[in-house]
Structure 1
Amino acid sequence: MGTRMSAAGGEFQPPGAESLDLPPILLGVTKPMLLCVLSVAVVAAFFLVSTKRLKLVPGRFQFAVESVYDLARNGIAREQIGAKDFRRFVPLVLALFTFVLVNNIFGIIPLIQFPTMARIGFPAALAVLVVYPVYHYVGFRRHGFTGYLKKALFPPGVPKPVYVLVTPIEFVLKFFFDPVSLALRVFGAMLAGHLMLLVFTLGGEYLLLEAGAMLKPVSVLAFAMAIAMTLLEAFIQVLQAYIFALLSASYIGRALAEDH
């Protein structure tokens, strides 16, 4: 990212992580903060409007909300948590999926063009303040304090001497690495995707307006790549929201599961 591209009009400085360091708009409130609040309003409006007049034969909005709900309920919660316990976690899984999805999609919406999850504080807050305490709480409540720690730190079927190595690893994984990896996965994908879009978009603009005559036609290729990257980024944004909700549900299911 530190390379420069020289031409007649000056130098092109590719965007880096500092491109996402936006100044406050007013009283310390930044664009990502506003987008986070807006995403809550968008999700709430989507469900309220779609379910206002439910029909036996669903319209397009009702079909959309039913599809999203079915994915969260049956495709994620039931599969990862199990038929016995999944129902009470459906609202959480649905909220996580739709919230992360909308904040990701902001990255390709004209005039907004900023994925909120590209700021590490937002996925970290979801992982550490929401998902992490939920799955440990349900685990302690289901198995008891000692029982849950034994289940988490001493996997069955492992020879006792090996626990000297396995137990510290399990402790780090389940109590530190799980929430960190959950946050970093969506953060890294959104940051990288946003920077790639900036590179091709700003690079194409630079080639068209500032570069020499021989390089100007290359701007067409840069803009074409920006369009292709936008389509790819849209797919990744949906996929990362799904993965975030899927892993969150799998952690809950793992905490509730009985060892056999």
Structure 2
Amino acid sequence: MLPGAGQHHVELDVPGEFTLSTAAIAVPIRAEGEDDGGFHAPGMEEFFPGAIFGSTELSSFFGFDRIMLVRLVVVVVLLLLLWLATRRASLIPGRGQSLVELGVGFVRHQIAEQIMGKERARPHLAMLTTIFFTVLAMNLAGVVPFLNIGGTSRVGLPLVLALWVFIAYLAAGVRAHGIGKYLKSQLFPAGVPWPAYFLITPIEILQVFVLRPATLTLRLLANMMAGHLMLVLCFSATHFLLLEGGGLIKVTGLLALGGGLFITLFEVFVSVLQAYIFTLLSAIYLNFALEEEH
């Protein structure tokens, strides 16, 4: 190697050398600044915020975070609105009372009585109505400013509601038929050749005791998690592109904003639909428990 060749190497006119060396310097600078700015895609941390007080660690006895606060706010607001709408109930309802009666009537006529019949539905109307209003209000919290996340977007609340339905349909079946007859009707379907029970009965056990509450939980949870992630993604991209993008990139920020508004409206629809589906399946499971055979 000639003397001084090391010094002249950086001055050689090699295509792309200057670009590569510039990128090599810029990359660590960008990496160092990632926590301070730039676009951050939403992830599972959205559903596990830091504790407001206490601790959210698994080893902790109690922790209170933003999602629990949202649930508390929704319950208080829902109870307040129901009380205001019904505290002066009359034969000629006002707007608030009419809205509540519309919701109660929808659950009663379009879900409970449609699936179970009037006589069977009557003892379970209060439960089904409570489930419908609770799931609907918790779902809609995801599109309410300053709340911005559904109370059903973490597994705790959907699981509690599903276990309530699970206990209710087991209790209803045992109360109606007695434990022996109920288990026979659910786990040993009539009209099946007895050797087939070796295959069918384990499936029925899995369905009655595991799949029904699990599907109730996971269907609601997955829909609300997906909706929240899409909303956060669109509005985070809007903020980043409009404020930090340059030139024509800002136009894509407007597209992201439009997408966010569309998904917001779609999320309202999904919130109502999931409240309906959860309540409908609850009524179907209760009806299965009350039937002699299925």
Normalising by structure 2, we get a TM-score of 0.82
Runs (4 or more) in structure 1 with deviation over 4 Å come to: none
Q: Which residue of 2 aligns with 1:94?
A: 129
Instruction: Kindly indicate whether the alpha-carbon contact (under 8 Å) linking 2:40 and 2:236 is maintained by their aligned counterparts in 1.
Output: no
Gaps of 5+ in 1: 1-5
Following superposition, the deviation at residue 167 of structure 1 comes to 0.7
The SS at the match of 1:25 is: strand
Q: Does 1:85 align with 2:120?
A: yes
Q: Confirm or deny: 8 A CA contact 1:106 1:114 kept in the other structure.
A: yes
CA contact (8 A) 1:69 1:94 kept: yes
Matched to 2:80, the amino acid is A
Quick one: which of 14, 23, 27 aligns to 2:50?
Answer: 23
Query: 2 CA distance for matches of 1:11 and 1:40?
Result: 36
| Aligned counterparts, 1:177-216, within 5 A | 177-216=211-250
Find the aligned partners of 1:252 and 1:38 in 2 and give their Cα distance: 30
Residues 13-36 of structure 1: per-residue CA shift (max 9 Å, x gap)? 311122221111123211222222
Cα displacement (A) at 1:57 = 2.8
- Residue type matched to 1:90 in 2? L
Name whichever of 42-51 and 228-237 sits farther off.
42-51
Q: Which runs of 5+ in 2 are unaligned?
A: 1-29, 55-62
Tell me what 1:169 maps to: 203
Identify the match of residue 35 of structure 1 among 70, 75, 79: 70
Describe how 1:104-143 pairs up with structure 2 within 5 A.
104-128=139-163, 130-143=164-177
Is 1:56 the counterpart of 2:83? The answer is no
Q: Is the CA contact (8 Å cut-off) linking 1:39 and 1:102 kept in structure 2?
A: yes
Distance in 1 between residues matched to 2:82 and 2:246, nearest whole Å: 51
C-alpha contact (below 8 Å) 1:72/1:94 kept by paired residues: yes
Q: 1:140 & 1:58 partners in 2: Cα distance?
A: 40
How much has 1:176 moved relative to structure 2?
0.4
Larger RCO (alpha carbons 8 Å, 6+ apart): 1
Partner of 1:103: 138
Instruction: Give, in whole Å, the separation in 2 of the partners of 1:99 and 1:39.
Output: 9
Percent identity over the alignment? Answer: 39
Q: Secondary structure at the match of 1:114?
A: coil
What is the aligned partner in structure 1 of residue 193 from structure 2? 159
Distance 1:201 1:235 in 2: 19
Look up the equivalent residue of 1:197 and give its one-letter code: L
How far apart, CA to CA, are the structure 1 residues paired with 2:124 and 2:288?
13
Of 215, 226, 229, the residue aligned with 2:260 is 226
CA deviations 1:161-218 (Å, max 9, x no partner) are 2111111111101100100100101100000000001111001111112223231111
Aligned-partner Cα distance in 2 for 1:214–1:90: 56
Asked if structure 2 preserves the Cα contact closer than 8 Å seen for 1:81 and 1:254, the reply is no
**Matching residue's letter, 1:65:** V
Structure 2 distance, partners of 1:11, 1:66, is: 48
Q: Do residues 242 (structure 1) and 276 (structure 2) align?
A: yes
User: 1:23, 1:213 → 2: CA distance?
Assistant: 37
* Whole-angstrom distance in 2 between the partners of 1:44 and 1:72: 18
Amino acid at match of 2:271: Q
Is the contact between residue 139 and residue 150 of structure 2 (CA under 8 Å) also seen in structure 1? yes
AA partner of residue 46 (structure 1): L
Contact 1:50–1:61 (8 Å) recurs in 2: yes
1:104 maps to a residue whose letter is: N
Which moved further from structure 2: 184-193 or 75-84? 75-84
Deviates more, 1:77-86 or 1:183-192: 77-86
> Partners in 1 of 2:203 and 2:216 — Cα distance?
17
Post-superposition Cα deviations, 1:99-156, rounded to whole Å, max 9, x if no partner, equal: 111110000001111101010111011112x111111011111111111111111112
- The amino acid across from 1:156 in the alignment is A
